[in-house]
């Protein structure tokens, strides 16, 4: 469990026991030492529990929810990468119209990574693996026929 979440549960426990926020801070400092939550954070959580918030995990996030990680954008990014493996993230950003971080997340979800200025899938399909084996066997037989010094 996350150490901060663990301490939130401890704050909730102290609140249910009727301890004040100051007493809770003292107890947390005694138990967790240097890794204890800040005093202001303990007071904030104590206040939330006082206002009848039951779950320490239920915390509203600020900001707008992400709207760029949609199936349409994923399909568009995948299409662009398949069309041109040398495309840069900056070019994808301009083409699709979403931020750089979202493009990076989509590429990661799709299983792409950058290798020698080229986007390649992280995992090869069985057909691609067989193709690699065939090409390597062709090169090996050619090197045996013609000699390694010609390469």
List, for residues 9-34, the tens digit of each pLDDT value. Answer: 888 888 888 989 899 999 988 988 88
Give the span between the Cα atoms of 49 and 124, in whole angstroms. 51
> Once rounded to an integer, what is the mean pLDDT over residues 97-106?
90
Q: Which residue has 């900056």 as its token pair?
A: 90
Which segment of 3-12, 95-104, 112-121 scores lowest on mean pLDDT?
112-121
Check whether 146 has a pLDDT greater than 60. Answer: yes
Check whether 134 has a pLDDT greater than 90. Answer: yes
pTM: predicted TM-score of the whole model, two decimal places: 0.41
pLDDT at 75: 93
């Amino acid at each position: 469990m996350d150490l901060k979440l663990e301490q939130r549960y401890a704050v909730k426990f102290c609140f249910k026991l009727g301890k004040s926020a100051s007493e809770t801070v003292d107890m947390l400092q005694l138990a967790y030492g240097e890794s204890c939550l800040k005093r202001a954070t303990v007071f904030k959580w104590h206040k939330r529990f006082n206002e009848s918030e039951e779950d320490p995990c239920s915390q509203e996030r600020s900001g707008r929810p992400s709207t760029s990680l949609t199936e349409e954008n994923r399909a568009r990014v995948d299409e662009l990468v398949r069309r041109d493996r040398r495309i840069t993230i900056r070019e994808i950003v301009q083409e699709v119209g979403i931020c750089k971080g979202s493009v990076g997340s989509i590429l990661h979800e799709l299983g792409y990574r950058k290798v020698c200025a080229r986007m390649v899938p992280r995992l090869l399909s069985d057909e691609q693996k067989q193709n690699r084996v065939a090409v390597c066997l062709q090169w090996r037989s050619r090197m045996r026929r013609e000699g390694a010094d010609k390469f």
